């Protein structure tokens, strides 16, 4: 099951990246962010699933302390990158709907490249900070993590030292939520002022796929944190973790392409070219 979902995740996100690269009509800020989001999803799924497959094959479920810290560092890196890219895409939709005449000037290639570089730099700094803070925690010997990867909330529950600072830093990863919320508040208020119903439906279609990805990403992330904070059965926490680390990156390419005619046409041309 894990192998099948991982292969679908890799194939689906690679197809999105290749479709955006190969089609000149998709060389726009929105699809530039979408291709980078697919790349981040591949990295995010690859932080946990290959280790799971190796554990299943070898019938061993151990991970070293250094290996756990490395996995945790990459998990924060790609999770924060996903979050920042979703915020940039929300801002792109805000400019496209609320300031359509200024869109080519505001969302120019230089700004997109700058935002990507800032996101990568900030994510690298943030992931290393989390890794350093986690290395300062003390654990008892023979710790058993009730998950299939080094899940940060579960590690905080198992630590013998104070984790208040680590918990605050973990929730700072969700800081881009405010940018997404602000953008969609302005988008909805702008759409409601459109007089024609066809104009409203067209605007909602433009934002529909991105909003679905946002809800899926943050909904499953909230499920993971709530399942660790509230005394749920371990099976429920494991299911929430699978949804967050495996299912969400697998579904993102389908959500992005099913209701997007530009992506559909680019994928058809790419697949016909390959065949």
pLDDT digits (tens, 9 = 90+) for 192-231: 777 777 766 766 766 777 777 887 777 777 766 666 555 5
Asked whether the CA dihedral 25, 30, 34, 36 is positive or negative, the reply is: positive
pLDDT digits (tens, 9 = 90+) for 156-170: 878 887 777 777 777
Chain centroid to Cα 81, Å, comes to 7
CATH architecture group of domain 2-274: Up-down Bundle (1.20)
Exposed, middle or buried, 66 (CB in 10 Å: 0-12/13-18/19+)?
A: exposed
φ, ψ at 194 (rounded to 5°):
-70, 130
Average confidence score pLDDT of the chain: 82
Q: Domain map of the chain by residue range? A: 2-274
pTM: 0.85
User: Cβ neighbours of residue 260 under 8 Å, at least 6 residues apart?
Assistant: 209
Give the residue ranges of DSSP H helices in the chain.
2-22, 29-46, 49-58, 65-98, 103-106, 109-135, 152-158, 164-172, 176-192, 197-229, 234-242, 248-258, 261-274
> Looking at the chain, how many residues does it have?
275
Where does the pLDDT of residue 55 fall: very low under 50, low under 70, confident under 90, or very high at 90 and above?
confident
Q: How far apart are CA 124 and CA 190, in angstroms?
A: 36
């Amino acid at each position: 099951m894990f192998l099948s979902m991982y292969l679908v995740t890799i194939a689906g996100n690679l197809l999105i990246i290749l479709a955006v690269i190969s089609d000149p009509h998709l060389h726009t800020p929105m699809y530039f962010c979408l291709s980078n989001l697919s790349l981040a999803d591949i990295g995010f799924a690859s932080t946990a699933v290959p280790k799971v497959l190796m554990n299943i094959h070898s019938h061993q479920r151990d991970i070293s302390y250094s290996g756990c810290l490395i996995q945790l560092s990459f998990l924060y890196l790609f999770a924060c990158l996903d979050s920042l890219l979703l915020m940039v895409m929300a801002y792109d939709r805000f400019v496209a709907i609320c300031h359509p005449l200024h869109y080519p000037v505001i969302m120019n290639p230089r700004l997109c490249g700058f935002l990507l570089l800032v996101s990568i730099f900030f994510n690298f700094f943030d992931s290393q900070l989390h890794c350093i803070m986690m290395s300062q925690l003390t654990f008892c010997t023979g710790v058993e993590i009730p998950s299939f990867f080094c899940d940060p909330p579960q590690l905080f529950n198992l630590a013998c030292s104070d984790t208040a600072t680590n918990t605050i830093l973990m929730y700072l990863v969700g800081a881009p939520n405010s940018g997404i919320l602000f953008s969609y508040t302005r988008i909805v208020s702008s759409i409601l002022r459109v007089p024609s119903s066809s104009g409203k439906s067209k605007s909602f279609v433009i934002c529909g796929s991105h909003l679905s990805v946002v809800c899926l990403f943050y909904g499953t992330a909230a499920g993971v944190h709530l399942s660790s904070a509230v005394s749920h059965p371990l099976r429920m926490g494991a299911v929430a973790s699978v949804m967050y680390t495996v299912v969400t990156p697998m579904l993102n390419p389908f959500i992005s392409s099913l209701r997007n005619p530009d992506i559909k046409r680019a994928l058809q041309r790419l697949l016909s070219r390959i065949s």
